[in-house]
Amino acid sequence: MIELLKAVLFGIVEGVTEWLPISSTGHLILLDEFVTLNVSDAFKSMFDVVIQLGAILAVIVLFFHKLNPFSPSKSAGEKQQTWQLWFKVIVAIIPSGIVGVLFDDWMDEHLHNAVVVSIALIVYGIAFILVERRNQGKHVKVISDVYAIDYKTALMIGLFQCLSLIPGTSRSGSTILGAILIGVGRSAGAEFSFFMAIPTMLGASAIKGLKFLLSGVSATGTEIGVLVVGCVVSFLVSLVVIKALMEYVRSHSFSAFGVYRIILGVVVLLYFALLG
């Protein structure tokens, strides 16, 4: 029961931080410093990624009509437009997919620690504030419709997603920040970031799941329960957070998230400095 309660906490953190530009992986790594699941190392490495499946399902549920090219209520042109959106998403995830497959083990070994997370939180927090200040008061023409994102723009956003492979950077943070830098509006950039998450997380979860199976380690009944509870909770929390974020970005900047990242990064650095 204690492990399942811990899984609920991990699911809440995943559901909140996956979509806000504050790094879900970073928060899970930091949470693990204070709340340790009583599971094998192989399972924990897989759990931190596969728990994202619940969050993915929330995107599919909330944007099902927009993402469904077979919807009978869509015209032939709208269906073609939806297919084009999917093709752009696929183009966008290619760069991070290549880098992730090639360097996954190395990054797990060298980058998944509190110091790297803290530095990434601070650096990208500063970046968000600077970008928002640069755009403040300027009437810059931006791409306001996710369907209007072209293939070149999609690829450029995908290149920014490669930065998110560093724990603490944030997948949504790097893609949304990159989208803003190249002229995509916050709302359209956030939506495209959410859509990119579907194949990205499915691929990452498949890789981690396969590695776990090939490791020869069997999951216990408690571990399976932990995974199921974590996914269900992350799904339910994500439903709320995604709706709230889409409403927020229509009239607010991301500067507040930048401030949060800097404060959290400094606090964590000081904590581990004192601990050492």
Place of tokens 């959106």: 85
Cα 259 vs. chain centroid, distance in angstroms?
19
Pick from 42, 4, 24, 76: which is nearest to 197 by CA? 24
* Predicted confidence (pLDDT) at residue 138 exceeds the cutoff of 70: no
Could you give phi then psi for residue 164, rounded to 5 degrees? -70, -10
Which residues sit opposite 26 in a β-bridge? none
Average pLDDT over residues 42-62: 89
pLDDT band for 194, please (50, 70, 90 cuts).
Answer: very high
What pLDDT digit, counting tens, does each position of 68-115 carry?
999 999 999 999 999 999 999 999 999 988 988 888 778 878 787 778
Structural domain count, the chain: 1
Which residue range is the domain that position 40 belongs to? 2-275
Mean pLDDT over each residue of the chain, to the nearest integer:
89
Please state the pTM of the whole predicted model.
0.85
At residue 7 the predicted structure's pLDDT band, cuts being 50, 70 and 90, is very high
For 260, the token pair is 């949060």
- CA-based torsion, 200, 201, 206, 212: positive or negative: positive
